[in-house]
Structure 1
Amino acid sequence: MARAKEFNEEEVLDKAVDLFWYKGYNGISAQEIVDGLGLSRSSLYDTYGDKRTLFIKALKRYRIRETGAMITLLDNAQDVFSIIKDIFKTSGRDSLVDKLGMGCFMVNSRIELAAHDAEIAEIISESRAAMEDGFLRAVERGQMSGQISQKQSARALASFLVNNLWGLKTYGKADPEKSVIDDTVNIILAVLKP
């Protein structure tokens, strides 16, 4: 009879997200994963498969946890401009206080692996598309209510927002300057103002 699992699979996946986010796929050994997750090798491999499979599950978990949460905020926002402002201000603040320079797990993974792994590239592309669609829906609502400028198409603004959000996260990996982040966020918000 098989032993019952004595761990929460989603909590372990959250830990895996953090490990891969901090170290990258190629920067972490199997032993570091086992130690970081607090599981035996057999439990790890029986539940999650090999390192690549665990990484893919962690990437999908991040997409649900981080990207999904942001999309929910955008979809539920009454004041679209304010929620977009909050997203960018929070991202900028996080870049300044993140002394580990972790940036964004999706962006990091795209840079490290997407050119060599079609499945990972597809997961990241789907995540980016979902994020852009979330911004698109919010911008469309904001344009209809007069909260967001109509000088550019909603699609162009949504793409602009995702590119700038990912850019801020990337810049945040390398000892960012507060003035650069503040200026960037202020310019983004100025583009959105009606």
Structure 2
Amino acid sequence: MARTKRFDEEEVLNNAMLFFWHKGYNGTSPQEILDELGLSRSSLYDTYGDKRSLFISTLKRYRDTVTGDVIRLLETADNIPEAIKSLFQQSRNSCFSGEEKNGCFMVNSKVELALHDEEVAAIVKENREALENAFTNAIKRGQEKGQLSKDNQPRALARFIMNNLWGLTVHSKSGADKKVFDDIIRMTLSVIK
């Protein structure tokens, strides 16, 4: 007879995502994960598999939630410049909202693992492509509405915006102050108009 699980799998997965986001994959031991999540070894392995499988699940969770929210915002926005500005402000606020400077989980994972792990590389690539397509389509709509200049090719502008958004998260990990963020945001927004 199978045992009944005494934990919320979604909550545990979210907590695991936050833990990996904070410490990285290589910065966590299986025992630290068990301690952080309050699970027994058998519960972890029966539900999620090994440490790597849990990590892959958390990357997919990030893609579906955090990246998914960005994509939905871009797909439904009426005012594209305001939507892009909002994303930069959210990133800025997130980077300065607490003690921890975690950066972007997807960018961190790319830097830490993508060169050596094909599955992580594939998830990161899929995430980047989905974001790039959402930004590109939003920029096209903004150009058609006269909200954005047609001087820039939409895909190139999408890549520029994404690079600057991700750059903010890298700066947050290195301790950059709010002025650095404000300068990057101001310059990025001036280019897209």
Per the shorter chain, which TM-score range? over 0.9
The structure 1 segments of at least 4 consecutive aligned residues displaced by more than 6 Å after TM superposition are none
Partner in structure 2 of residue 182 of structure 1: 182
Alignment of 1:98-109 (within 5 A): 98-109=98-109
- How much is the aligned-residue C-alpha RMSD, in angstroms? 0.9
Shift of 1:99: 2.4
3-state SS of the aligned residue for 1:12? Answer: helix
Unaligned stretches of 5+ residues in structure 2: none
Separation in structure 2 between the aligned mates of residue 125 and residue 98 of structure 1, nearest angstrom: 29
Alignment of 1:147-166 (within 5 A): 147-166=147-166
Measured against aligned partners, the alpha-carbon deviations of 1:68-92 in whole angstroms (never above 9, x if no partner) come to: 0110011110111101001011112
1:172 corresponds to 2:172: yes
Measured against aligned partners, the alpha-carbon deviations of 1:100-138 in whole angstroms (never above 9, x if no partner) come to: 110000011111111111110110011011111111111
Separation in structure 2 between the aligned mates of residue 87 and residue 34 of structure 1, nearest angstrom: 34
Separation in structure 1 between the aligned mates of residue 96 and residue 11 of structure 2, nearest angstrom: 27
Q: Which amino acid in the other structure matches residue 37 of structure 2? A: L
Separation in structure 1 between the aligned mates of residue 114 and residue 64 of structure 2, nearest angstrom: 19
Partner in structure 1 of residue 77 of structure 2: 77
3-state SS of the aligned residue for 2:127? Answer: helix
TM-score scaled to structure 2, two decimals? 0.97
Measured against aligned partners, the alpha-carbon deviations of 1:3-46 in whole angstroms (never above 9, x if no partner) come to: 12222211111001001000000101111101111111100000
Separation in structure 2 between the aligned mates of residue 182 and residue 149 of structure 1, nearest angstrom: 22
3-state SS of the aligned residue for 1:102? Answer: coil
Aligned length: 193
- Give the fraction of aligned pairs with identical amino acids, expressed as a percent: 53
TM-score scaled to structure 1, two decimals? 0.97
Separation in structure 2 between the aligned mates of residue 71 and residue 14 of structure 1, nearest angstrom: 20
Separation in structure 1 between the aligned mates of residue 16 and residue 137 of structure 2, nearest angstrom: 31
Separation in structure 2 between the aligned mates of residue 29 and residue 51 of structure 1, nearest angstrom: 8
Unaligned stretches of 5+ residues in structure 1: none
Partner in structure 2 of residue 122 of structure 1: 122
Partner in structure 2 of residue 146 of structure 1: 146
- Matched-pair contact (CA < 8 Å) for 1:95–1:176: no
Separation in structure 2 between the aligned mates of residue 51 and residue 192 of structure 1, nearest angstrom: 42
